[in-house]
A and B are shown apart, each in its own frame.
Chain A
Amino acid sequence: MPSIVNYLWLIPALPLLAAGMIALLKQRHRSLSASLSIGSLAISLGLSIAAFVPTLGPIEGGGGVKRWVHNLDWFEFGNTTLRLGWVLDPLTAAMLVMVTFVGLLIFIYSVGYMAHDENAARFFCFLSLFAAAMLGILISNSLLLLFMSWELVGLASYLLIGFWYHKPSAAAAAKKAFITTRIGDMGFLLGLLWLYGETGTLLFYDNGNGCLEQSALNRLNTLTTAGGMGVATAISLLLFCGAAGKSGQVPLHVWLPDAMEGPTPVSALIHAATMVAAGVFLIARVFPLMDVDPANVAGSSTALSVVTWVGAVTAVFAALIAVGQNDIKRILAYSTVSQLGYMMLGLGAGGVAVGMFHLLTHAFFKALLFLGAGSVIHGCHEEQDIRRMGGLRRQMPTTFLTYAIGMMALSGVPLLFSGFWSKDEILHAASVWPVSRLPFYLGLFGAVLTAFYMTRQMFFVFFGKQHLGKEAHESPTVMTIPLVILAIAAVLVGFWGTPAWPWLHAYLTGHELHLDLSALAKSATLMLISTAVVALGMISAWRLYTRKTPSSPQALDPLEAAQPAVFGVLKNRAYIDEFYEATVIRLNHLLSVTSDVLDRFLWNGLVQLVSLMAIALASVGKALDQFVINLGFDGWCGGLKQGARGFARLQNGQVQSYLRVIGLSLVALVVVLLWERRR
């Protein structure tokens, strides 16, 4: 076992430590914060490369992939111990290098972008936390540790999207992101607990006892739920809920475009290297589980079929919406959603290598595009509406050139750009998917749309007439250098996975690698089709927007003029947010009001009723006391009192009256005696 495995935990721990240290610093130490943040991630990058090296090279004994794990006890309950751990395998290593590399460039870029923000120190704290959480996901050898890092990614995104907290829209977007992803996470948690219950472990790999290893998978393969669905399928689908939330798959994609409220480097980090990649990575990580299906009739497991379909629908749906957007970052956001759909499609139809290839290429060119967009926004004095830009290629040559490379990579311009190779892999996988051919056609349609909306955006921003009131300027070097590096990467990473030399595929799956030029010829048809598709999208956009140039920012989009109804729907993001507003959010509100009303009136009313009854009972008692017992008693007492008073009057203590009585009595007595004597 290479010694780096023992120190793998340092890769997320260093940025985490940096985040903790910056949190304790005073706000004014901005350059120290930035250095801590960048320095720690740079060391993590070094460590990642050190971890990457041993995963290369031939596999001893042949077959399988190189994998080392390090597990440790976390806590005990009952007679069992919950264990966490980390793993080093090609999947982890490739992702580690990508995330630390792209992340580092974004961090450096942020120094320039956030130079004037008063909370820049805090920003680097959150960025480091974000990177640490994402790296935690990557090295996890335990679904629980992955879930915990996953939630921390959610926290970091919450903090960063809401970074400009004084803007109510930013605060709302942050909350929306956290809660929407958490909806998916509830499924993830249930799936995780179920898997734990069935296999007794949450470690992925544990010398044959892990939940992704053959014995556990065989056991899961024999179990079915009450509805006849395989337990493995049910667990996989629950886990996919989490992935769909984080990776913005329809219908949980709504948070991603709103996440644009954060500073642009955050958007780049969320959309390229971290967060959204986490969902795709999760599916790739638990792929052996997703692949298990006792009722595997169609040649693809139920869970993977669902992944494929959701991916295909998301790819087209988000691309359609992107066509109708005018905010430079929003277009990119929907393009991310669409590309994530492609990744899921690739994972579902073609397996880990296909999906991961697109994830990696996309990370580079999408980071490039976002940082380019940030540079544009920075240069245009915080303007984000593409209709108000125009003609920027002269003022911002570096940004323009690098952005053009990113745009061509995203659109899938043939041969030279990475997006072409990775998208081609996905389309190839979809074209031979045994279940249905429809995802393939959806993928092709999405490719047309991608080329279309990116060309439209390029045109509005860099060509045509200038609409910007103020003078635009090129961004400082600290921002353009990362752009150049990413642009070079966006071209080069494609060559890791050409059909002739599928290095990444071999690396991830452990197959042997051959240089096979004839494979290029075999896939030539598909490559021609996809070239034609991209050309179709680009040329139609170019013709549409050069011929009918909108004369002013207020003018109708040519597409809107042609199809106002359709464009309206797209512009309003297919009214999904409004739909949720009217259903989910209203239901939520209704439930809360009902609960509160029930509480105040029903439950509390019952209690009050009981207390009223007690009081009523007490009043009856009081009445009985007063009117029956007291009156009877009082009446009797009254009589007694009257009598007594009569007697008492006799004994009023006045001697003269006593004497009077005695005197009178004496007289009476004398009279009586005399009366007697006379007779």
Chain B
Amino acid sequence: MNGWILTLLTVLPLFSGLLVLLVGSQGSRSHKLSLGLGFLPLLLVGLLWRQFDASSGAIQFIEKHAWIPTLGVDYFLGIDGLGLLMVLLSALVVPFAIAATPSSQQGRLYFALLHFLQAGLFGTFTALNFFHWFLFWELSLVPAFFLIKLWGGPERSAAAMQFFVYTMVGSIAMLLAFAALFLAANTFDFLKLAELAGSGELTRNVGAQLAGTGLTGETLMMMMGCGVLLGFAVKIPILPFHTWLPLTYSEAPTTTSMVLTGVMSKMGVYGLIRILLPIFPETLRAILTPLLWLSVATILFSAYAAFAQKDLKRLIAYSSINHLGYCLLGVFVVLQRGDASLFNDRAAALNGVILQMFNHGLTASALFCFVGFLEQRNGGARNLDDFGGLRKAAPVLTGLMGISLFSSLGLPGLNGFVGEFLIFKGALALKPWAAAFSTLGILATAIFLLTLYQRVFTGPLRRQSSWVDLSLGERLTVLPAVAAMFLLGVFPQLLLAISNPTVKRLLTQWMF
């Protein structure tokens, strides 16, 4: 079974989606069917987890078949610790989003699209050949586009369009860069490209093969590296390529926002670690200082912008940018030159990034889920001013969302803390100034999240009637996420046991 388990994982949600489309009727039946099917990939990932050899950190469950041999395109799948955690996250967040979707509102197409989106995510996190990977990277946009366009808020058309076109522009830059890279290296295989890059051969080849342009290998690599970076910069997003995000997250239906922020935003950071850093290390090193400035700017700027937001979804969207900013900081500081004694600091930063990705996926999707609950109870209004004093009427909702907010602001004992701690541990040793500036972001995050809590849950109750606490179904939807926040906060080793061997292996391969 190991020979095709990853293929099965990707295909499974596709079939689930089709089944929901064909069999599901409108309303709650298709919701139940979809939820049931949504757990199947989770079971499969559980199987993966069991069979995964965590201690080696190597790429496992490899499937490799020639696909288009003349173009060096292989059907090449495999996961290491990073891939496993991302696949796990996708398998967790999508059923969570399905469960959180109010069954009365959305029909079977909505659920089918969520399943298709999951297939795209699995494909992206398992592919190891550019062609194959890029296919899924782009394909995952399609269901997301329709989810926003068909079920979004009043500005859904503009949002869907901006989301799609903006991401597409980044992707085209990336595609061009890889086409050029293929000319030089004659392969689309990420691992081979990384190997060539590591030995310095890639730069020489690029210089030789593209000599007609009259540019040196370094310059060409810089151009390609920036092209690939642009693709990821839009997706993550990095300032100033982030403006599509608040609009998209706030206009998308809430449960789609859960998947967008929970998993799709991680595709970019995953790409940085899996693709950009291994293939373009020298290029990135040359522009390390500006990259770090951009990371710090992303952290601080989005935190401050979050203050000014009135719309709950926009606020959490900015907080999402802010949290991914820490991932950027962690990824980029790893590039800082230095002797071998800094190995543990690099490992800390990179492990922190992986933890942060996972934990943010969990926490941010939970927060969006809570915003959805609030929205439904408030007739669709979700401005900060539309609430007040809810703790009296809905103590369970308050308590659970409060826990998620504190997880988001990095309270020790909950999941957010360890990732941020490790990122800062690495960053302070490798680039002290970047770490010092970024701590201001932690402070700012605390302020705007507590302001949210204060405005929504405390003070006198604004609307006396119609407020009901979470129903049993809603409690069952969010409780696993909240329980996971505690579990991972107290036992981060659960994730680190998977990520650390991979991180060590990656760092050794990158040969700092």
Interface set of A (CB-CB < 8 Å, partner B): 23, 27, 74-80, 144, 147-149, 151-152, 155, 158, 162, 165-168, 170-172, 174-175, 178-179, 182-183, 186, 189-190, 193-194, 196-197, 588-589, 591-596, 598-599, 602-604, 606-607, 611
Contacts and interface: CB of A to CB of B under 8 A. Distances in A.
A171 B348 CA distance: 37
Nearest to A179: B447
B496 to A, nearest CB: 5
A144 B413 CA distance: 12
Contacts, number: 149
A607 B429 CA distance: 36
B71 interface: no
A588 B454 contact: no
B133 interface: no
A158 B447 CA distance: 13
Interface of B: 162, 165-166, 239-240, 242-244, 246, 301-302, 304-309, 343-348, 351, 389, 391-392, 395, 399, 406, 411-413, 417-418, 421-422, 424-425, 428-429, 435-436, 439-440, 442-443, 446-447, 450-451, 454, 457-461, 492-493, 496-497, 500, 503-504
A604 B389 CA distance: 35
B442 A171 contact: no
Contacts of B447: 179, 588
A193 B420 CA distance: 12
20 contacts: A77-B351, A77-B503, A78-B343, A79-B347, A144-B421, A148-B413, A155-B406, A170-B458, A174-B454, A178-B446, A178-B450, A186-B442, A190-B428, A193-B428, A193-B429, A595-B301, A595-B302, A595-B304, A596-B304, A603-B243
Contacts of A591: 304, 307
Given A148-B413, A596-B309, A165 B346 contact: no
Nearest to A197: B429
Contact of A77 (B307, B344, B391, B435): B344
A592 B304 contact: yes
Contacts of B301: 595, 598-599
A260 to B, nearest CB: 17
A603 B239 contact: yes
Contacts of A78: 343-348, 351, 500, 503-504
**Chain A contact surface mostly:** helix
B348 A77 contact: yes
A171 B347 contact: no
B417 A190 contact: no
A79 B347 CA distance: 8
A182 B449 CA distance: 13
A77 B418 CA distance: 11
B411 A194 contact: no
A77 B458 contact: no
The 10 closest A-B pairs by CB, nearest first: A78-B347, A592-B307, A148-B412, A596-B308, A171-B458, A78-B344, A595-B304, A595-B305, A165-B458, A75-B493
Nearest to A145: B412
B308 A182 contact: no
B418 A75 contact: yes
Contact of B343 (A79, A183, A593): A79
Contacts of B417: 148
Given A186-B439, A189-B439, A596-B309, A155 B458 contact: no
Given A76-B496, A166-B389, A147 B457 contact: no
A193 B430 CA distance: 12
A152 B403 CA distance: 12
Contacts of A144: 421
Contacts of B344: 77-80
A602 B241 CA distance: 11
A74 B493 CA distance: 7
Given A168-B459, A603-B240, A190 B435 contact: yes
Contacts of B450: 158, 175, 178-179
Given A147-B412, A182-B443, A75 B492 contact: yes
A168 B346 contact: no
A563 to B, nearest CB: 38
Given A74-B493, A179-B447, A166 B305 contact: no
Looking at A75, A76, A594, which has the most chain B CB atoms within 10 Å of its CB? Answer: A75
A166 B460 contact: yes
Contacts of B162: 607
Contacts of B435: 190, 193
A179 B304 contact: no
Contacts of A170: 458
A382 B273 CA distance: 60
A240 to B, nearest CB: 16
Contacts of A179: 443, 446-447, 450
B440 A186 contact: yes
A21 to B, nearest CB: 15
A586 to B, nearest CB: 13
Contacts of B436: 190
B127 to A, nearest CB: 28
A505 B308 CA distance: 53
B504 A166 contact: no
